[in-house]
Structure 1
Amino acid sequence: MKKFIYLFLLFSLSNSVIAQYIVIDSITKTPLPYVAIKFDKNDGVYSNEFGKFNLDTMMGDSISLYLLGYQKKELNIKNILNDTVHLKPLIYELEEVVVSKKPKITGKIKKYKPEQHNDFIQSHWLFIGAELATLIPNTAESDYLVLKTLLIPVITRTISFDESMYGKAQNVKVLPFSSMYQIKFYENLNGVPGGQIVNEDIIVVLNEKSKIAEVNLENHHIEVPPNGLFVSVLNLGETDENGILISTSPFVIKKSESGKTAKVRKPTKPFFPVYYSEKKNNTYIRFNLDNNPSWEIFFKNGKNRNGEYHNVKFGYEVIIY
């Protein structure tokens, strides 16, 4: 069995008590899950299912909060009262829509397999806040095509990132992990992800127990246009043993021998299999905790090699009517 030696930075974490905050709807007073809370240059966290978050790696004193359907909010943490942040929902004037009952018809189910392998070296990991989008084409030549299931391939055989394994030879093997991802869908805008077309929380927890994660989409009624659409996975962070999101930054604080502190990006499983056979770019990436996130052509480990096309391909099932 092949052995690999990976050098990882040792992390020094503070043992001080970390303040916890909550973000809620300003009208209903209900907690808001999966809010992006940005701070510093390209750091941030996501609120968990209960709207809670902490700012353990924050070095500045201002935060910005973003959630689709709500007004962006910027504030100084000193002005947060009772550890609670209120977000105001956007108000839309909707035109009257007449809904007619569609006749029940039975469609044909067709399955498209993902590009899958379990080679750890030929894979890519997303740090917290990173979003990977890949194209789902409409190859069924049908005007009415609905997504039934999304099939997400993951690498289950990896190495340990634990500090105790620093500088040691490791066998690539199945190791436990659990990370939460948000599924999003976008228009195909001339081969690049465009506007978001589904405003719903579609959440999946990925772990080492399955090489392919199946996400049931039947209750969301996502139609595939003639030119296809993009589906993305956004890394929200690791979960605890109960599957609850651990609100944490993409960075940890490292202290040097001189006493200076610096932020170091931490690896987060799973890794996604990369393939090179398709001679065009169908996969894009962006970093949502950056100040101005924008889609970029995806390359494994961010390395652009001339003449190569790097893609991640999800599988899916569709209902053809």
Structure 2
Amino acid sequence: MKLLILFTLLAAQLCVAQVHFKIVNSETKEALVNIPVRFGEKNGMYSNAQGEVTIPDGFEVQQITIAALGYKPYTAEVAIIQNTTVSLKPLTYHLPEVVLRGEPKKVKTFKQKAIRSNSVFDSHWQYHGVEYGVFIPNNHDNADMQLLELTIPFISKRRDWKKENEDYKKDSTNVRVRTLKNDFQYLYRISFYHMNQDSTFSRLSIPPKELIVSDENRKLKMDLEKDQVWADHSGLLIGLHNLGPCDDKGILLSIPRFGKERIGPNGKMYKPINNRENVPHIGVTTKRKGDLVDYINWHFKENSKWEPMRFLGGTPEKTRRLSLGYKLKVITY
């Protein structure tokens, strides 16, 4: 009976003690950087430049799940991986079959301008660990559609919080006092998907694009013509995934999405950063009838999947959409 009680106490300590392990490629033994690790309820973090993961003490962690792009998913109990190396098995991708249609009858381009306002109220925040998707339908009969360019309008959030707080206090005493934003920069991953017959989405084998977003780099334009990003018969989903805060080289900082503040690799004290003031904001515009469809995927939720998303405007009946800019080439046969 005493041994059973002792084992239970040790297990309870393990759940809240610091957890440390390393992630490598099972074939090359190379350390894997920026790999997402999920634990607890909607929480998680990423491996550092050495492929190491250190979950601070204070978190009740009994099991971790690793679902990395290009690797077989991995789930294990903390007791098994503590102070060990986790080897992820690479997945093999096959390029889709190319169908030759013959000579095209018409080739034309279509360009949608990105709408960006300097007001934070014409934007929508994107939390760390969330992927927004914009679905561009293929409304052309007997035609192929290629994505040539993509523009993402990020909104500056530099505001005089001190002045706003004083104004709020004059109008009401029951006001949540805002704080100054932290000067984080974020790593984004841009991926592309096709819609399946059951309305789920499959990621294309095209390598995703990764870029750093900050207040100084607010309107990002990408030339994708050489990447050969083609829609299928239904259309194309463009995924914008906020991986989290990173350094100047694009290495994600080992900061849990939620929880207590902790000391980072440079000795600086970091706080959890998932609040509206500190995460990037993407420009939105009024949604029109028959307009593009927005989706959302909460990657740190268990069994995460794409779901339709509605960005509300000033009134419940007024909805908005992400105002991405893009250029398409449509080839009719």
The TM-score range, normalised by the shorter chain, is: 0.7 to 0.9
Normalised TM-score (structure 1): 0.73
**In structure 1, what is the equivalent of residue 127 of structure 2?**
127
Is 1:213 the counterpart of 2:220? The answer is: yes
Q: Deviations over 1:240-266 (max 9, x none)?
A: 234322132221327xxxxxxxx8944
Report whether the alignment pairs 1:308 with 2:315.
no
Summarize deviations over 1:17-64 as a string: whole Å, max 9, x none.
976643111111122334321101111123356534332373213211
Q: Tell me the TM-score normalized by structure 2.
A: 0.71
- Specify every segment of 5 or more residues in structure 2 that has no aligned partner in the other structure, as ranges: 1-16, 168-176, 262-271
- The whole-number CA distance in structure 2 between the counterparts of 1:176 and 1:74 is 34
Residue among 287, 293, 304 paired with 2:298: 287
Q: Tell me the CA shift for residue 145 of structure 1.
A: 3.0
Superposed counterparts of 1:172-251, under 5 Å: 177-189=184-196, 194-251=201-258
Distance 2:304 2:160 in 1: 30
Gaps of 5+ in 1: 1-16, 255-262
Offset at 1:192? 5.5
2:37 alignment partner in structure 1: 37
Please say if 1:114 is aligned against 2:114: yes
CA contact (8 A) 1:252 1:266 kept: no
**What value does the CA root-mean-square deviation take over the aligned residues?**
4.4
Q: Look up the equivalent residue of 1:184 and give its one-letter code.
A: S
What's the offset of the Cα at 1:198? 3.2
The aligned amino acid for 2:72 is Q
8 Å CA contact 1:178, 1:243 repeated in 2:
no
1:255-303 CA-to-partner distances (Å, cap 9, x unmatched) read xxxxxxxx894444210122223235611112110012133332348x9
- Residue equivalent to 1:296: 307
Instruction: Check conservation: 1:156, 1:175, Cα contact below 8 A.
Output: no
Is it true that 1:28 corresponds to 2:28 in the alignment?
yes
For 2:81, the equivalent position in structure 1 comes to: 80
Q: What is the CA–CA distance in structure 2 between the aligned matches of 1:119 and 1:166, rounded to whole Å?
A: 14
Task: Find the aligned partners of 2:187 and 2:221 in 1 and give their Cα distance.
Answer: 14
DSSP-derived class of the 1:253 partner: coil
Q: Cα 1:231–1:152, aligned 2, differ >3 Å: closer, same or farther? A: same
Say whether the 8 Å CA contact 2:35–2:66 is kept in structure 1: yes
Amino acid in the other structure paired with 1:60: V
User: Contact between 2:20 and 2:83, CA under 8 Å: does it hold in 1?
Assistant: no
Question: Could you say if the C-alpha distance between residues 198 and 152 of structure 1 is closer, same or farther in structure 2, counting changes exceeding 3 Å?
Answer: farther
User: Structure 2: how far apart are the matches of 1:33 and 1:159?
Assistant: 34
Q: Amino acid of the residue matched to residue 79 of structure 1?
A: I
Amino acid at match of 1:123: S
* Equivalent residues of 1:178, 1:206 under 8 A apart: yes
1:220 Cα shift?
Answer: 2.2
**Equivalent pair of 1:43/1:250 in contact (CA under 8 Å):** yes
**Larger Rg, first or second structure (1 or 2):** 2
Q: Distance in 1 between matches of 2:184 and 2:116?
A: 19
